[in-house]
Structure 1
Amino acid sequence: MEFKHVKVATGSADEEGRLVFHEEKLIAVLVRLDDAGHGAVVGQWSLEAGFNGVDSTKPPLFANLEAAERWIGKQLSDFIAL
């Protein structure tokens, strides 16, 4: 899995993002929650978009990129097993 830094035009302070690639295919977009309006979850990462089994009706939050990588890996393995 590869993470590439990107700035995301969210219209708020939440600009730091990561494009997540697996086997050279984009599978997720993560954004770090930096806007003070997020309260207790400031600094966590949010799944903004997911593809090929890495999607969710309720986007999860991750304490760090390692936690996001573990969750994405689990989603991929579950999707491939179907």
Structure 2
Amino acid sequence: MEFQPIKVATGSADEDGRLVLHDGKLVAVLVRLDDPNHGPAIGQWSLEAGFNGVDSAKPPLFANLAAAERWIELQIANFIPV
């Protein structure tokens, strides 16, 4: 899995992002929460977009990129295309 740094135009201080690639394909976009409005969630990573099974009705938060990687790998492993 590869995490490529990118700035994300969120309209807030939450601009530090990562494109997440699996086997060379984009599977997710993560953004680090930096806006003071996030309170205790500041510094965590949020799933902004997910593709091909890496999505969620309630986007999860991750303490670090290693935790995000584990969750994404699990989603990919359990994905059944329709």
TM-score where L is the length of structure 2: 0.96
**Structure 1 segments of 4 or more deviating over 4 A?**
none
* Runs of at least 5 residues in structure 2 that lack an aligned partner in the other structure: none
2:43 aligned with 1:43: yes
Partner of 1:29: 29
Percent identity, please: 73
SS at match of 2:37: helix
Aligned counterparts, 1:44-59, within 5 A: 44-59=44-59
Alignment length, in residue pairs? 82
Deviation string for 1:26-67 (max 9, x for gaps)?
A: 000000000000000000000000000000000000000000
Distance in 1, matches of 2:15 and 2:36, equals 13
Partner of 1:68: 68
Distance in 2, matches of 1:45 and 1:77, equals 21
SS at match of 1:74: helix
Partner of 1:16: 16
